[in-house]
Each structure stands twice: as C-alpha cells, then as structure tokens.
Structure 1
Amino acid sequence: MGLLTFGLNVTLDGCIDHTQGIADDELHDYWRERMEQSGAMLFGRNTYELMEGAWPAVARDENAPRAMREWAQKLEAKVKYVVSNSRSDFPWQNTVRVEGELREAISALKAKTEQGVLVGAPKLAASLEEWGLIDEYRIVVHPIISGHGPTLFQGLSSPRQLELLSTQRFKSGAQALHFRRKAG
C-alpha cells in the first residue's frame, strides 16, 4: 500500500494563497522531485481547475523557464485523480474522476498505488485528515506573512501529533518540512 502524502506551499502565518510564494527554479525542482516519487496526484475540483488552466500551456511553451516546463511536463504525464461532485469531464491528459464514497475510494487508491499518492488540495486534505488517511506531510513554508486567505486544516476536530522527518532550506529562505503521522 502506498502512502498518501499531502504537499503544499504556505506562508509563515499558515495561509494558502498560490499568489503569495516564491516560485523559483529551486522550488519547482523540489515539487517535481516529490511528484516523480509518487505514483499519482490527487486534487479536488477547485485545485484541479487552477492547475488545468495553467500547466498544460507551460508544458508546451519552449520559452518557459526550465524548471517550470519540466514540472509542467511531469504533471501532464502523471496520473491525476480528481474529486468532484459537479464535474465529470476532464480532458487534460491522464485525468481520472474519483468515483464512489470518498473515504473508501481514497483507501482503495492508496492500496493500488504502490508508489503513493501526492495530494495538493487543501479542502480535500482537511477531509482526508479528518478520516486519518494522510500518512505524510510535505509543507513548504515561505518567509512571507500574508495576513489573509484560508489556512491549513481549518475546523479539524482534534489535534494530530506528527514526527518531523527532515527539513530543507532553500536559497529563497523557504523551508521544506517533511512530517509523518505519529503512531498511536
């Protein structure tokens, strides 16, 4: 069974705002490596639509910065699962709609994806965390105080204990944190 890993960029105050971050080559390379290590990607509809609206064009743009283009090409080739109640048509290459009861469907996806699944959708991750389905966390904290926007895991019913496995500092000052759920 593969691990379900939640990965996202956040500001120092925990805000999720994709416009507030340092999207340099080093960060794109970091996320490309995380994606290459996983067997599939998992998105909620909103996050998927943000990705679908931007990355396919970058994958084909020969003038795009190297790291962005490599990320986009790897994302395009990767199997992408999408959770959506309102959309069933996903024309982006290698995209599959998650069917059935969510908790069971994600458990089955983990079981069949030996290399694991990387989820990059904050609202979806909150539901998955509530059910105890997330195994690891890859959070990149940017040295920015946003002061607005949603934060990670709002409304979680109880605290979760995590074990820090590693850290990585980027030239930009961003810090990548790798956590695993503590046993028990």
Structure 2
Amino acid sequence: MTVDGICDHTAGIPDSEIHQHYTELLGQGDAILYGRITYGLMEFWRSILENPSEQKSMNDFAVAIDRIPKIVFSHTLKNVDWESARIAKQSLKDEVLVLKKQSGKDIFIGSRSLIIQLLKLNLIDEFQLCIYPMLEGKGLEIFEGINDRIIFKLIKTKTFSNGSIILYYQPKRE
C-alpha cells in the first residue's frame, strides 16, 4: 500500500527485492485467500509461467504464487481453472477456522475485502503491511469500512533499498 493507505493493484513500485521477499514468504504458507476480483488479477502470473519475463524475480514469484494453494471466495464464480486454486466450500469465517486448526504454517490474505471482513471477525493474527514511499491520491483504501478502533502492537519492521518498509503488527486482543 502507499503512505496514504491506497492498496489498488496499480499503486506501488515493486522491484526485484520486494518480489524476492514475497517469493520467500509464499513458500512459508499453507494457503492464500482471495476474493473473486483479486483472484482474477493474480491470474496474470500464470502468463509469466508460460512466457517468462526478463526479470528473474518476477519469474520466481510466478512459480511461488503458482505453487501455493489458493482459496477463492466468490458468490458468482462456479469454478476456477488454476490447478492450485479452489472455490471456498464454507463461509469465510468457517473456512479460516478450519485452516487455522490444520497446521502451523501461515494463511495469507490476498484481498482487501477479505482483510476487512476478517478484521471485523477478529481472525487476523498478524499484519504485514508493505508501505511504498509514495502518495497515490486515489484508489482503494485498505481499511475502508472499518468503523471501530483496533489497536495493534508493532512486532518488527523490514526496510527495502527502494524506501519501502514492511510493518509487522499483531492486533491487541482485549
């Protein structure tokens, strides 16, 4: 996201260092959750698998995103053709509760709408907010629709050479 809280897929300035970070991160997870729109956008990476780019970091990320199981939440999609993806069989809450019981690996949330819903359900254990050093001025606000105060504890940070920073937060439970 940008400094002004915009998380539109066209905002930001990912580079090879950030792609490498997320390639490594995806290798540590059991699943990534998507809504229909973001899932459709992420299918871009399948084209990189078929026709690799000149950037090794993008190719490596494409392999990582292809490997991780994807669970898609949609009321309109009836099927997905990405081999490592499936349509959710249960509600978001129930699906996440089942996943949390299954293993010790991470469950990633790849869609803004799911982040907002899971925040409201108190089912997020940690945030990793990558903030790009820029103002976008327009687009989707990451926490749009959150009307209650949620306090977080900063647990660590990671800084990239392009000035981006990842803030690792845990929600404070009362």
TM bracket (short chain): over 0.9
Equivalenced residues, count: 174
Contact 1:40 1:113 (8 Å CA) reproduced = no
Unmatched segments (≥5 aa) in structure 1: 1-9
Q: Which runs of 4+ in 1 moved over 3 A?
A: none
**Hey, what's the Cα distance between the residues in 1 that align with 2:167 and 2:18?**
13
Unmatched segments (≥5 aa) in structure 2: none
Tell me whether 1:71 sits opposite 2:51 in the alignment: no
From 5, 8, 17, give the equivalent of 2:8: 17
Note the alpha carbon deviations across 1:134-175, whole angstroms, 9 max, x for none: 111011110110110121121113111111111111111111
**When the two structures are superposed, what TM-score results if normalisation uses the length of structure 2?**
0.94
Tell me whether 1:145 sits opposite 2:135 in the alignment: yes
**Which residue of 2 is the match for residue 5 of structure 1?**
none
**When the two structures are superposed, what TM-score results if normalisation uses the length of structure 1?**
0.90
Q: CA RMSD in A?
A: 1.3
**Which residue of 2 is the match for residue 159 of structure 1?**
149
**Hey, what's the Cα distance between the residues in 1 that align with 2:47 and 2:22?**
18
**Which residue of 1 is the match for residue 169 of structure 2?**
179
From 62, 66, 72, give the equivalent of 1:82: 72
**Which residue of 1 is the match for residue 34 of structure 2?**
43
From 118, 121, 144, give the equivalent of 1:128: 118
Shift of 1:19: 1.5
Tell me whether 1:26 sits opposite 2:17 in the alignment: yes
SS of residue matched to 2:71: strand
Cα 1:46–1:113 shift into 2, 3 Å: farther
Contact 2:29 2:68 (8 Å CA) reproduced = no
Counterpart of 1:46, as a letter, is I
Shift of 1:39: 1.1
Tell me whether 1:118 sits opposite 2:108 in the alignment: yes
Note the alpha carbon deviations across 1:8-30, whole angstroms, 9 max, x for none: xx011001122221121001011
**Hey, what's the Cα distance between the residues in 2 that align with 1:67 and 1:128?**
30
Contact 2:78 2:87 (8 Å CA) reproduced = yes
**Pairs within 5 Å for 1:48-63:** 48-52=39-43, 54-63=44-53
SS of residue matched to 1:39: strand
Note the alpha carbon deviations across 1:4-59, whole angstroms, 9 max, x for none: xxxxxx0110011222211210010111122111111111111000001x101112
Shift of 1:113: 3.8
Q: Which moved more, 1:22-31 or 1:105-114?
A: 105-114
Q: Which moved more, 1:137-146 or 1:14-23?
A: 14-23
Contact 1:162 1:181 (8 Å CA) reproduced = yes
Cα 1:108–1:65 shift into 2, 3 Å: same
